[in-house]
Structure 1
Amino acid sequence: MLLDPARFAREIDGKPVRLFTLRNSQGMTVCVTNYGAKIEQVLVPDREGHFDDVVLGYESIEGVVGGAPSVGAFVGRYAGRIENARFSLGGIEHQLAANNGPHCLHGGLRGSRFQVFDAVQNDPFSVEMRYVFADGEEGFPGTLALSLVYRVTEANELTLDYEAVALDAPTMANFTTHAFFNLEGADSESALGHEVMVCASRYFGMTPELIATGQLLPVDGTPFDLRQPVVLDARVRKPPAADGVAGYDDCFAIDRTVAGELALCARVSAPGSGRVMEVWSTEPTMQFYTGLLAGEPLAGGLGKGGRRYVQQQSMCFEPQGYPNAPNLPAFPSALHEPGQGRQGRTLYRFSVS
């Protein structure tokens, strides 16, 4: 069941690609490749103590390169959508790479999802990865150095700590992690039986193209009120009724008492396996994604075990900064000034009920 590192040992763009295996003494195991800093496998126990894989991923580097680019990735230079793939900074308009209609999604055509990170593993439970975004890369101004540490703790947590530093000019940046989870395990065909709670009293208004408008709306009386645990298939309707949605691809403003401190963003549980996952982060918002088209195949080739991955088979919990912030001055800034580091932490904590 454990992925074979030999199937990930390649060279891409003149840089070595590897699979790094992280373990704790409880048996939790996480496999991460430095191509896109992608999480390819997470093995955690169910209520009977049986281990299974709870994320989508691929069995070889060829599968990763040919698969859905966001699966497992650490996303930058800008997570989410930037409207019309442009923004102004210091009176200068910057045209970005458009890869989602006219918009820039997840950093453009060759964002960090497609890049080989420099990686070093100094102990059995962590790996450090680094990437430097060049000035002008995908249209973004300024050189930006990113460092990222994945760590497995003895409390069955997967932590992601990042720091981004603008080196020579102001730039815009926003990062997230994009693992696709199904706590029922690798053979589960749907995530809609999971019970989900999101700690958010407000969600972001979006255009039909999923561009943040600048509105923050109350969740009260809407299908976006997930403050109490909800079984997803009670909300995800086909076709959606007034109290339901076709699926979720929505951003929530996380309720928190102190900005920048670690806070609970979401809790999800699987009734069959008994697995529970809590999502904690220092980031102010979280994108919750199931996909909107039930059964629609994800882009690319087959996943682990020769499976064809589809929408609503899994869920993403993506803590990040404010969406489309470079074009919405009322939102907290995504500006990175030269020499000033910006840090973030996201933590996935696994247990059983």
Structure 2
Amino acid sequence: MPPIQPVSPPPHAGAVLLDPARFRGDIDGKPVGLFTLRNQRGMVAGITSYGAKIEQLLVPDRDGLLDDVVLGYDSLEAVVNGSASMGAFVGRYAGRIENARFTLGGTGHVLTANNGCHCLHGGQKGSRFRVFDAAQRDDASVEMRYVFADGEEGFPGTLALRLVYSVTEANELQLDYEALALDKPTVASFTTHAFFNLNGEASGSAMGHEVMICADRYFGMTTDLIATGEILPVAGTPFDLRQATALNTRVPGTPQADAGTPPRDGVDGYDSCFLLDHPADGTLALCARVRAPESGRVMEVWSTEPALQFYSGLQPQEPLAGGPGKGGRTYFQQQGLCFEPQGYPNAPNRPAFPSSVHVPGQRRVGRTVYRFSTDPV
């Protein structure tokens, strides 16, 4: 395959580059900054070291115009007061751990409960709330590090995390991460939690997007969204997204669904975890493909992880938690879509699932790639 040739950056469609000066500050005695990554084709990513959060992502539409395709914030103060998960790199354990407890090697561990009685996304101060040590390696990449302490949020063992964000000349945002257990057995599962709207972060509802997820099965959940251990077929359910499906044809309450006949078993939205049709050896593989007919932007999600949490929000009239986003806008549920590759949900409490345990000296290595292109029509 011939190398990709640099091209003149496309013009901006109206998105304003984030100002790094507005992201400078200190939290918990550590300096925070915004790192701007660019390729030679005009793609730009803005990543803050607070929570390793993706705050901006400029990619071209079918006419070559750049716009910002992730919901986010335009200052450090807004990030701190905003939705904790928006754009964040999530750890030490992605998703919910039932009743905020698990047993490892015969020893029970009680975690911080921050989602009812459950532990969500690493607890009250998981990595979403931590300042990463960060250094920009070159124009297109930044390296971030964080060490989870033994006992932090109730999890056993010291765990050293290294994360690299890169913007490639193929218009990809690539995340490479590696965690090393240092002193005690521990559990770990990581994900990334950007909210995408391929028509632009200020464009309103994302429910006209067409979504395909490479999964024949999904995880059974309780009403609290705790994985039960069941793995169910998607066939004949609203979770069958094996073919590209406009979300507004599945979700009652959207104009297109109301104009016709919604599926008998329609859903209010998605907060669902899928078991991907992946090789079991950690090979990078396609997880999902998303298309916005209006802008022509297409995003493919590739990962080495075995599962994918797909989140759209369930209540479109409800604003997302936290204060206003970029430009002072209030973001609402279903204005951004999250595609979160991760390990098996609630695996520390589900012995039948592949183990999430890492012993001292054992590394957890992963890669997730968001690849952008366009359709002509």
The normalised TM-score by structure 1 is 0.99
- What is the match of residue 43 of structure 2? 28
Preserved contact between residue 196 and residue 268 of structure 1 (Cα < 8 Å) = yes
**Number of residue pairs aligned between Structure 1 and Structure 2:** 353
Partner secondary structure for residue 113 of structure 1: helix
Report % sequence identity.
73
Distance 1:47 1:295 in 2: 30
Q: How far apart are 1:244 and its partner, in Å?
A: 1.3
5 Å-filtered alignment, 1:122-201, equals 122-201=137-216
- What is the match of residue 296 of structure 1? 318
- What is the match of residue 251 of structure 1? 273
Q: How far apart are 1:261 and its partner, in Å?
A: 0.2
* Pick aligned residue for 1:66 from 65, 69, 81: 81
- What is the match of residue 6 of structure 2? none
The answer on 1:348 being equivalent to 2:370 is: yes
Q: Deviations over 1:82-128 (max 9, x none)?
A: 00000000111000000000000000000000000000112000000
The answer on 1:231 being equivalent to 2:231 is: no
- What is the match of residue 323 of structure 1? 345
**Counterpart amino acid of 1:227?**
R
Partner secondary structure for residue 300 of structure 1: coil
Q: Deviations over 1:140-199 (max 9, x none)?
A: 000000000000000000000000101000001110000000000122110100000000
Q: Deviations over 1:28-85 (max 9, x none)?
A: 0000000000000000000001100000010000000000000000000000000000
CA distance 1:168–1:256, change in 2 (3 Å): same
- What is the match of residue 285 of structure 1? 307
* Pick aligned residue for 1:308 from 304, 318, 330: 330
* Pick aligned residue for 2:358 from 323, 326, 336: 336
Distance 1:255 1:31 in 2: 31
Preserved contact between residue 58 and residue 304 of structure 1 (Cα < 8 Å) = yes
Q: Deviations over 1:204-254 (max 9, x none)?
A: 000000000000000000000000000000001139853310000000000
Q: How far apart are 1:258 and its partner, in Å?
A: 4.5
* Pick aligned residue for 1:98 from 95, 113, 122: 113
The normalised TM-score by structure 2 is 0.93
- What is the match of residue 3 of structure 2? none
Preserved contact between residue 178 and residue 366 of structure 2 (Cα < 8 Å) = yes
Preserved contact between residue 220 and residue 229 of structure 2 (Cα < 8 Å) = yes
Q: How far apart are 1:328 and its partner, in Å?
A: 0.1
**Counterpart amino acid of 1:117?**
F
Q: Deviations over 1:274-296 (max 9, x none)?
A: 00000000000000000111121
Q: How far apart are 1:343 and its partner, in Å?
A: 0.1
Which runs of 5 or more residues in structure 2 are unaligned? 1-15
CA RMSD in angstroms comes to 0.9
Distance 2:120 2:355 in 1: 18
